[in-house]
A and B are shown apart, each in its own frame.
Chain A
Amino acid sequence: KNEVEQSPQNLTAQEGEFITINCSYSVGISALHWLQQHPGGGIVSLFMLSSGKKKHGRLIATINIQEKHSSLHITASHPRDSAVYICAVRDSGGGADGLTFGKGTHLIIQP
């Protein structure tokens, strides 16, 4: 079973700062997902990665397959970016389908 670790667990920053959230996993994967969850809200998929880098607006996600590591970056952060960011992976081997999730990074952007 894959082990997914996220850091930091909690992050408070000022509006406009560059934010980095890290995710590492223990065994090979077929895909890595970055998800966003607002307080009391549903879960929204931000990115699905199997290699390289993806960008959507102010969000950038990268993955290094050899090092089993991914990062989510937020440029020019805004209070509306305050949410829990969750990393999840899909194992490349056989076994149960579904994702293995990290515990999430709770991000607060102060105006």
Chain B
Amino acid sequence: NAGVTQTPKFQVLKTGQSMTLQCAQDMNHNSMYWYRQDPGMGLRLIYYSASEGTTDKGEVPNGYNVSRLNKREFSLRLESAAPSQTSVYFCASSTRREGGYTFGSGTRLTVV
């Protein structure tokens, strides 16, 4: 099915471990985003990529790195996980700045 695919769906990490969240879209969208969702707060932008080869920081980038591998794929890396990074992470893509959004199904990450 066309859309945004995120892996894994669930992950438990120990403090200090690293991991990469994968995201791929097959809609030929230029823009891709990583958001985190925490209880009692709206989704917050971590990083975004307006086009292949470019990435920019969002509202809460500390502790994360990203890679726009090609037009389809945008990965999020936690180099040294901390309990404060326990959250649900969503990848999204859109056609252009004013375009509609498509979200992935989310990754529920717990750091212990």
Contacts and interface: CB of A to CB of B under 8 A. Distances in A.
B58 A98 contact: yes
Interface residues of A, number: 24
A45 B42 contact: no
B45 A98 contact: yes
Contacts of A98: 33, 35, 45, 48, 58
A97 B48 contact: yes
A103 B90 contact: no
A96 B56 contact: yes
A70 B58 CA distance: 25
Nearest to A47: B100
A103 B97 contact: no
Contact of B104 (A30, A42, A50, A103): A42
B3 to A, nearest CB: 9
Interface in A33-64: 33, 35, 41-45, 48, 50
B40 interface: yes
A31 interface: yes
Given A41-B105, A42-B105, A96-B58, A102 B48 contact: no
20 contacts: A30-B97, A30-B98, A33-B100, A35-B101, A41-B105, A42-B90, A42-B104, A43-B106, A45-B102, A88-B42, A96-B48, A96-B57, A96-B58, A96-B59, A97-B48, A97-B97, A98-B33, A98-B35, A98-B45, A98-B58
Interface of A: 4, 30-31, 33, 35, 41-45, 48, 50, 86, 88, 90, 96-104
